[in-house]
Structure 1
C-alpha cells in the first residue's frame, strides 16, 4: 500500500483543483458563446477580388478610346470582367428604384467580380473635354461648319446641346448653384477625373491607383497604333471663327461648362504633379516610391482577435 506524506497530498490536491478549474472554464466558454453567430474568417479573402470600378462615360471625351483600347484589351491580362450598362433612351441618370436594384445586382453578382462597369460609389473615374473642342467635332459630320450653324441659329448647335458635362456630375437644373454642386461631387465622389488631352497621364495614374484592373495599361496604350489610340477621332476639324467664339462665350451654358472643365483640368494637373513628384512624366507615376512610412507602433506585437 502506497502512503503519501502531507506535502505530496497537498500537491495532488492542487493538481486536481487546477484540472477542475480548466475544465469548468472551458465548459463555461462553450456555453456562453454557443448562441453567438459564428463570424466567418476574412483572413484568406483578397479584397481586390471583389473590387468594382465604375467609369462614368461622357460622350465625345475619349471614352470610346479608353474603354475599347484599354479596358477591353486588359481584362484577359489582368483577370477582370468588363460590363457595359445600357441606359434606356440614353438617360444620364438612373431612377431611385433602378439605383437600388443596380447596387444590389453588382455587389451580389459574385461570379462577375472584380468588375469594370462603363456607363453613361465603388470607384468612380471620368474623362472630360473642353466644350469648344467638342462642338466642331459634331458639326463636321453634318456637312456644315460650326460657323454656318451658329450664323443661322441651327438646332444642331443650340447651346442647350452644350449642357453636357455638368449633368454627369450633378443632375439638376443649370445655374451657378449646380455648378458648385458638380465641383463638390467631383472632389468628394470621384477617385479621379481626367481630361482628354492628357489621356496618357490619366491612364498612368489609374495604373498606380487601381493596379488590379490597369496593370500594364500605360505600356499597352503606348504600343497602340494611331487608329486605335484615337478611336472615333474626327479628321476634318474646322476651328470656329472669332465671330462664332464671341457669340458662344456670351452664353451662360458655355461659361458654366467652361468653368467646370477648367476646374477639373486644374484639379487633375495638380494631382498629376504630386504623383510624379513634380516631373510631370507619366512613367514616373509607376516608379515613384511611397512618400510615407510607419513608426512608433505600439504594442510591439499585434493584438490577435
Structure 2
C-alpha cells in the first residue's frame, strides 16, 4: 500500500484504503457489496482502492469490471505471522488511536502454552549470561511466598549442553517423579530436552535469552583457515549453490573444488577415510571451496585446522519425494551410464514405480520406520545424517539421539545452514556471515535467477497428494523438527544481522572473514 501511494504521486493516480473497523469482516452480503461498488464508482479515475475483503464480482451487478490485483504468501508462514501480529502490543495501541473504538482482544489464555502441561513443574534449562542467577534467586523467594519447592539438578557440574538420550531420559524421569508439586527445577546449561519421546507427562518450560547479535550466531570466526567445506545434502538445491559458488570464485578470487562423480556415493566414511579426506582438503590452497556429498567431518579430531562449514536443508518430505524421482529420471541414468559404462541399468518395474503407490502399498522402499537402519553406504532418505556424522549412532532412522547430535553440530560448527524454501534469507545471511566468499551473491542470483532455478530440475516428477505427504510426515517427526530448528537458526542470524545495533565480533585472525 505504501508503494501504491508513492506510485500514485509519480504516475498521476489516487490511492485510498478503507478506514478500518474494530470488527473487520472480509465477507459481505449482497447489499453491502453493492454499496461498496457504488461508492467506488463515484471516485476519481485512475484510482486504486485497497481493502481486506473477499473477491467481489462487479459484473454480477451489471457494472464494469475493474483491474483486480492481490498478493499471496506461503500459507504456513502467513498463519504464523498472523498469530503473532494480532498479539503485538503496538497492534492494539495503533488501532485504538486510529479507530477510537473499544477493540476486541484475545483471551489471555491463548497467549501462553501452560495450558498444555500435565505436571505443575517448571523446567528451566538456563542459558548462560541471560540473568539466570537473578531469576533463580527470585524463584526461591517466590517459592517461599507461593508455596512451591525449588530444586537444582544434581547434574550441577558443567558437562556441556549436549546430553545423551539415556542421560536426558534419566533426568526427565527424576524431575517428573518428584513427589511434591508445584515445583521449580533448574538445570545447568543444556539444550532443550524433549520429554515427549520418553512417554512422560510434559512440564512447563521456561527460559530467558539475551538480545540477538551476530557474534553469538557467527561460527565463521571460529574457522582456522580460509576454506569453505560444503558437505552438501542431495536434493536441496545444492547444484544451484554450486553454480553460484563457481561464479563467485571468479568474482571474489578464490578456488573452486568439487569431488569427482562417484560410481557408488559413500556418505559415511570409516575413521581412516575421514582423516584422509580431511588432510586432502586441508592441503588445498587458500582461499578455496570444497564440495562433496558426505557426512559432517570434524577436522580438529585429526589435529587439522577447522574449515568454514556450510550446508543447505529442505522440507524433509518434499526432499524425499524429490530424491525418489531423481534416481528414476531418464537423464540421470544417461549421465551415469556415460560416466560408468559398466553400470547395470535398474529393472523397468523399479523405474516405473510411483511414490504414492509405493507409500500406500507399504512398499519397503517407502516405509519409513522409527529406529530402522539402512545398512551399507548411507541413508539418503534423511538430511540430518549429513549433520549427525559418521558414527553408527547416527544411522537409525528418525531417532532422538541422531536429531540431537545433528542439532548440536549445526549450532556449534556450521557458519550457515541455508533453507531452500527461504532462499532470499539464505543468500542474505551467507553474504553477511561469510562475506569473503559470498559478497555479491544476491546480485549474481538476481541477474541469473531464471537459469539457476532450472538447474537439475526434474520434469519427470509428478505431483504428490497432500494425503500421501501427511502419511509420510507422521514418520518424519524428528526430521521435521531438525528442519524447523535449522530454519529458526537461519532467521535468528538474519534478524541479528539486520537489527539496528553495532555488530560485535572478535578481532579476526583470518583476512576477509566477518569482523575483520
TM-score where L is the length of structure 1: 0.67
Partner of residue 119 from structure 1, selected from 276, 292, 295: 292
Contact 1:200–1:221 at 8 Å: present in 2 too? no
Q: How does 1:1-305 map to 2 (within 5 A)?
A: 51-68=226-243, 70-86=244-260, 89-109=264-284, 112-120=285-293, 121-140=306-325, 141=329, 143=352, 145-159=354-368, 163-171=381-389, 172-174=394-396, 175-235=399-459, 236-242=461-467, 244-251=468-475, 254-277=476-499, 290-292=502-504
Distance 1:49 1:193 in 2: 19
Distance 1:49 1:264 in 2: 24
Task: Describe the shift of the 1:139–1:205 C-alpha distance in structure 2 as closer, same or farther (beyond 3 A).
Answer: same
Unaligned runs of 5+ in 2: 1-222, 294-305, 330-350, 369-373, 507-516
Unaligned runs of 5+ in 1: 1-47, 278-287, 295-305
Deviation at 1:126, TM superposition (A): 0.8
Distance 1:113 1:271 in 2: 26
Deviation at 1:118, TM superposition (A): 0.7
Contact 1:51–1:113 at 8 Å: present in 2 too? yes
Deviation at 1:228, TM superposition (A): 1.9
Secondary structure at the residue paired with 1:64?
Answer: helix
Deviation at 1:237, TM superposition (A): 4.4
Greater Cα shift, 188-197 or 129-138 = 129-138
Residues 158-210 of structure 1 show CA distances to partners (whole Å, capped at 9, x for unaligned) of 42666421111113232212211111111011111111011232122212222
How large is the RMSD of aligned CA atoms in angstroms?
Answer: 2.8
Paired residues in the alignment total 231
Contact 2:417–2:490 at 8 Å: present in 1 too? yes
Contact 2:227–2:307 at 8 Å: present in 1 too? yes
Contact 1:163–1:257 at 8 Å: present in 2 too? no
Task: Describe the shift of the 1:214–1:293 C-alpha distance in structure 2 as closer, same or farther (beyond 3 A).
Answer: closer
Partner of 1:39: none
Distance 2:426 2:490 in 1: 8
Contact 2:314–2:483 at 8 Å: present in 1 too? yes
Contact 1:136–1:240 at 8 Å: present in 2 too? no
Structure with the larger RCO, 1 or 2 (CA within 8 Å, 6+ apart): 1
Residues 26-61 of structure 1 show CA distances to partners (whole Å, capped at 9, x for unaligned) of xxxxxxxxxxxxxxxxxxxxxx99511101100000
Secondary structure at the residue paired with 1:54?
Answer: strand
Residues 194-229 of structure 1 show CA distances to partners (whole Å, capped at 9, x for unaligned) of 110112321222122222212211100111141323
Task: Describe the shift of the 1:232–1:178 C-alpha distance in structure 2 as closer, same or farther (beyond 3 A).
Answer: same
Contact 1:136–1:237 at 8 Å: present in 2 too? no
Residues 103-129 of structure 1 show CA distances to partners (whole Å, capped at 9, x for unaligned) of 3333334xx321100111310011001
Which has the greater radius of gyration? 1
Greater Cα shift, 99-108 or 167-176 = 99-108
Task: Describe the shift of the 1:201–1:187 C-alpha distance in structure 2 as closer, same or farther (beyond 3 A).
Answer: same
Task: Describe the shift of the 1:209–1:271 C-alpha distance in structure 2 as closer, same or farther (beyond 3 A).
Answer: closer
Contact 2:416–2:433 at 8 Å: present in 1 too? no
Distance 2:315 2:236 in 1: 9
Residues 240-279 of structure 1 show CA distances to partners (whole Å, capped at 9, x for unaligned) of 242x24432332xx112111111111111122122122xx
Residues 81-110 of structure 1 show CA distances to partners (whole Å, capped at 9, x for unaligned) of 11112467211133222332333333334x
